[in-house]
Structure 1
Amino acid sequence: MKIQLKKYQLELKHTFSISRESHDFQDTLVACLSLNGKTGYGEATSNPYYNISTASMAEEIGTIENRIAEMEFTTPEAFHDFLIGQGLTNFSICALDQAAHDLYGKIQNKPLHRVWGYNTEKYPITNYTIGIATIEKMVEKMQEKPWPLYKIKLGTNHDVAIIKTLREHTDATFRVDANCAWTPEETIENSYQLKELGVEFIEQPLKADNWEGMKKVLAKSALPVIADESCIVESDVEKCRGHFHGINIKLTKCGGLTPARRMIEKARSLGLKVMVGCMTESTVGISAIAQLLPQLDYVDMDGAMLLKKDIATGVIIEDHGKVIFPKQPGSGVALIA
């Protein structure tokens, strides 16, 4: 296989802020794997929280470029097994794994969801994310993008007041994501008020390693709680039972579609709800996530919707959340930049 790496800086429509950081641009790396005239595309974004940059990913992938070129490509799963033994970070593995799946689907001449036997007639709609800002700006963002389901980023000293004000401007369903900013007591107290304000669930209220605190929250919260930073890799799924009602899988964090599909199956077996989230990817990464939709309870795949300009074609998300799956095979992705 021939490999090519492309670095992009994605400009956002608005400054995106969560409890620990803000940014106007998102750096991303697209891996291109080519074989017999067909090319698969995969993506992983940089992330300062995990000390990942496009440069660091490109450097480590570059060290195994010759090995990738010499290997025989059979299945994405076999390729993923190979990557695990190469000492790469999961972010780099994700970009390559997505590309391998896209390539495999193109070789099979089928969309990935059909390769896997998934029925796309029924699927959850994505939320649209409203990052932390002044309340006026958050209201303006909602009015700019009328949507039936919003994820509201929280982690301020007036979180409930934010939701109260936003509720005055829409009857949409809310989800809230505190990104590890709350205490157990704060979470429990907030949950009762948030439930009355039409919030569906709370995502990652406590620090990732506060398992004892999450036990208390699980027992007393008025709302379901979903793990994000506490559920990174496959071995974390089991830990989340008894601490969360569900998990949010990020392809970049777990290492791509191959482990994500196993995590979905494991979560289901444990009675946990399943969500897949994005990391402000372009349509390359969003189209990979979309292939999993029929297996999910919730999804956060609005990354490309937050960009001023996309770099690829693929899955299209229409108003009110309807997904148009490409007729092209694999993830249906083609680069335009």
Structure 2
Amino acid sequence: MQIQLQKHTLALRHTFSISRESHDFQDTLIVGLNLNGHTGFGEATSNPYYKITVESMMSEIEAVQKEIEAYDFSDPVTFHDFLKAKGLSNFALCAMDLAAHDLYGKLKGKPLYELWGTQKDRYPLTNYTIGIAPVDEMVSKMIEMPWPIYKIKLGTEDDVAIVRELRTHTDAIFRIDANCAWTAEETIQNAPLLKELGVEFLEQPLKADDWEGMEKVVHQSVLPIIADESCIVEADVEKCAMHFNGINIKLTKCGGLTPALRMIRKGKELGLKVMVGCMTESTVGISAIAQLLPQLDYVDMDGALLLKKDIAKGVEIQENGKVIFPELAGSGVTLI
């Protein structure tokens, strides 16, 4: 097996702002795994919040590259165990694991969702994210991209007023993501006002470690609460079940599709709503997420839609949110 590592800097259509940061570009690592004439592709983006860079991921992988290339690849799960034992970070693990799954599907000649025993006849629609900006800019972004579901990033002094203004311009479903910017009291007070404005749920309103506050919120909020920053790895799912109504799984954070599949199963066993989110990936990462769609209640896979220019072909998302799955096996990815 041969490894290819590529760094790409993805330019965004608009400045993307959340409660703690803003950026116009997104660095990402693309991994290619070549075996028997097939190439599987995986991706993981850099992230300052988790102190991850493309260079740090590349250094991790290059340190064990010879061992990886000598590995007798048979399936992604045992390969993930092998990589995890080498001490790779979850972000580097994700890039490798996504590539391994894509490669495995291509070797088997089937898409991943089919190998997992699911069908693509029913699946949730992705939301389209509107980052924090002056409200007229947020309205302009919605008008530019008419969509059935919007995720609205909040964490300002005028959050409810922003949603009230946005509501005058669309009948779409709203989801609110405060990225840890609210207190328990703010969340409980805002929830009924936002529910009246057509908000479906609130995502991670409190700081990731404010478990006491989240337990209060989950019992008093009139809107469902979905964990994001509080649900990073498999061990977090059970704890989240006592403090949230659902979980948002990020492949980069948990280490790829292999642990994500286990987190989905565990979440469902515990009665949680299950969502998978993205980290402004290209179509490489988004196509991997798409393979999970039949297993999900909600999905946030708009990363490639936020880019000025994509670097890959795979899953296509139409303006009504409908997904066109690629004919190619695996996650169906090819680089442009």
TM-score bin (small chain): over 0.9
Deviation at 1:117, TM superposition (A): 1.0
Q: Deviations for 1:62-93, whole angstroms, at most 9, x for unmatched residues?
A: 00100011110010000000011011100000
**2:265 counterpart residue number:** 265
Give me the whole-angstrom Cα distance separating, in 2, the residues matched to 1:22 and 1:330: 34
Q: Deviations for 1:96-116, whole angstroms, at most 9, x for unmatched residues?
A: 000000000000000111111
Q: Does 1:299 align with 2:332?
A: no
Give me the whole-angstrom Cα distance separating, in 2, the residues matched to 1:36 and 1:169: 53
Deviation at 1:282, TM superposition (A): 0.1
Give me the whole-angstrom Cα distance separating, in 2, the residues matched to 1:20 and 1:217: 22
Counterpart secondary structure, 1:181: coil
**1:254 counterpart residue number:** 254
Give me the whole-angstrom Cα distance separating, in 1, the residues matched to 2:128 and 2:29: 23
Deviation at 1:319, TM superposition (A): 1.1
Letter of the 1:224 partner, please give it. P
Counterpart secondary structure, 1:214: helix
Give me the whole-angstrom Cα distance separating, in 2, the residues matched to 1:248 and 1:218: 16
Give me the whole-angstrom Cα distance separating, in 1, the residues matched to 2:103 and 2:66: 19
Give me the whole-angstrom Cα distance separating, in 2, the residues matched to 1:162 and 1:92: 37
Q: Deviations for 1:42-65, whole angstroms, at most 9, x for unmatched residues?
A: 000000000000000001110010
**2:13 counterpart residue number:** 13
For residues 60-71 of structure 1, the aligned pairs below 5 Å read 60-71=60-71
Q: Deviations for 1:121-144, whole angstroms, at most 9, x for unmatched residues?
A: 000000000000000000000000
Deviation at 1:242, TM superposition (A): 1.6
Deviation at 1:223, TM superposition (A): 0.1
**2:323 counterpart residue number:** 323
Letter of the 1:277 partner, please give it. G
Give me the whole-angstrom Cα distance separating, in 1, the residues matched to 2:252 and 2:242: 25
Give me the whole-angstrom Cα distance separating, in 1, the residues matched to 2:320 and 2:150: 11
Give me the whole-angstrom Cα distance separating, in 2, the residues matched to 1:272 and 1:31: 32
Q: Does 1:278 align with 2:278?
A: yes
Letter of the 1:317 partner, please give it. I
**2:97 counterpart residue number:** 97
Unpaired runs of 5+ in structure 2? none
TM-score normalized by the length of structure 1: 0.99
Give me the whole-angstrom Cα distance separating, in 2, the residues matched to 1:114 and 1:268: 20
Structure 1 runs, 4 residues or longer, greater than 6 Å off: none
Give me the whole-angstrom Cα distance separating, in 2, the residues matched to 1:267 and 1:209: 19
Letter of the 1:46 partner, please give it. S
**1:180 counterpart residue number:** 180
Counterpart secondary structure, 1:234: coil
**2:211 counterpart residue number:** 211
Letter of the 2:314 partner, please give it. G
Give me the whole-angstrom Cα distance separating, in 2, the residues matched to 1:225 and 1:335: 37
For residues 50-65 of structure 1, the aligned pairs below 5 Å read 50-65=50-65
Q: Percent identity?
A: 70
Q: Deviations for 1:214-252, whole angstroms, at most 9, x for unmatched residues?
A: 010011001000000000000000000120000000000
Counterpart secondary structure, 1:321: coil
Deviation at 1:17, TM superposition (A): 0.1
Letter of the 1:122 partner, please give it. R
Counterpart secondary structure, 1:58: helix
Letter of the 2:179 partner, please give it. N
**1:28 counterpart residue number:** 28
Give me the whole-angstrom Cα distance separating, in 2, the residues matched to 1:272 and 1:6: 37
TM-score normalized by the length of structure 2: 1.00
Q: Deviations for 1:198-222, whole angstroms, at most 9, x for unmatched residues?
A: 0000000000000000010011001
The two structures, once aligned, show a CA RMSD in angstroms of 0.4
Counterpart secondary structure, 1:43: strand
Letter of the 1:10 partner, please give it. L
Letter of the 2:315 partner, please give it. V
Deviation at 1:147, TM superposition (A): 0.4
Give me the whole-angstrom Cα distance separating, in 2, the residues matched to 1:320 and 1:18: 25
**2:242 counterpart residue number:** 242
Give me the whole-angstrom Cα distance separating, in 1, the residues matched to 2:10 and 2:69: 29
**1:161 counterpart residue number:** 161
Deviation at 1:2, TM superposition (A): 0.3
Q: Does 1:199 align with 2:199?
A: yes
Give me the whole-angstrom Cα distance separating, in 2, the residues matched to 1:142 and 1:69: 46
Give me the whole-angstrom Cα distance separating, in 2, the residues matched to 1:215 and 1:116: 34
Counterpart secondary structure, 2:202: strand
Counterpart secondary structure, 1:205: coil
Give me the whole-angstrom Cα distance separating, in 2, the residues matched to 1:218 and 1:286: 30
Give me the whole-angstrom Cα distance separating, in 1, the residues matched to 2:160 and 2:113: 39
